Amino acid sequence: MTRRWFSLLLVLFTYFSSATPAISAPHSPTATAVFAGGCFWCMEKPFDEVPGVLDTTSGYTGGTVENPNYYQVSAGGTGHVESVQVTYDPTQVSYETLLDVFWHNVDPVDNKGQFCDKGSQYRSAIFYGNDQERETAIASKSSLEKSQKIEQSIATDILPTSTFYPAEDYHQNYYQTHPVRYRVYRFGCGRDQRLAEVWGDEAGH
């Protein structure tokens, strides 16, 4: 075969190879859910461990100030709540399962905050994004009340979602980036101790 024919075949092969559209794998659907359970450091880990959860982000929601920072929110003057945004694959994990994880990682009867962190910026809350989430959250709370596992009134709010502002970078994945400080904080705040009192063997961690 002459070089001329070889070159022609090479050109044709290159053309048809590039003209064939690549077949990409279908993308899995994603959804987000927002929960508040006191210090957001402690709410990322339990959700990260759930199969089907793709990402968690610590942040602030429910307030009136745009782009709040940690010092503003922790001072309690912005109306925001420390919260965590959970990005998940609804084909792998249901919203009901996420609610179950949420309940077992909060003290649902504390109306003044969570554990050692007091103030409205640390209260427990479920932020729904649509009517279905609202109805599911209400049903979940009602089911918990009827189960009589919790003897006192449940103080956890169910609220419409608002703008979620991611917290500063140093707050993200804190349990991974500062594991010793994270464990010291949880113990010192009495979080695990109180969760064990409320939920027993079902307590989150």
DSSP state string for the chain: --HHHHHHHHHHHHHHHHHSPP-PPPPPP-EEEEEEESSTHHHHHHHHTSTTEEEEEEEEES-SSSS--HHHHHTT-S--EEEEEEEE-TTTS-HHHHHHHHHTTS-TT-SSEETTEESGGG-EEEEESSHHHHHHHHHHHHHHHHHTSS-SPP--EEEE----EEPPGGGTTHHHHSHHHHHHHHHHHTHHHHHHHHHGGG---
- The full set of domains in the chain, from first to last, is 31-202 (3.30.1060.10)
CA 126 to the chain's CA centroid: 11
Structure confidence at residue 27 (pLDDT): 66
Q: Are 133 and 46 in contact (CB under 8 A)?
A: no
Q: Give tens-digit pLDDT for 28-44.
A: 699 999 999 999 999 99
* SS3 readout for 50-106: CCCEEEEEEEEECCCCCCCCHHHHHCCCCCCEEEEEEEECCCCCCHHHHHHHHHCCC
pTM for the full predicted model:
0.85
- Residue 13: predicted pLDDT: 42
Catalytic residue among 39, 42, 116, 189: 39
What order do you get walking across the sheet with 31-37 strand by strand?
157-160, 124-128, 31-37, 81-88, 53-61, 165-166
Whether 39 is catalytic is: yes
Tokens 């009340």, located at residue: 145
- Nearest CA among 48, 112, 49, 142 for reference residue 86: 48
Closest alpha carbon to 41 in 175, 198, 167: 175
Is the pLDDT confidence value at 23 over 50? Answer: no
pLDDT digits 0-9 by tens, 46-88 = 999 999 999 999 999 999 999 999 999 999 989 999 999 999 9
What is the overall mean pLDDT for the chain?
A: 89
How many residues are given for the chain?
A: 205
Return the pLDDT at 6.
38
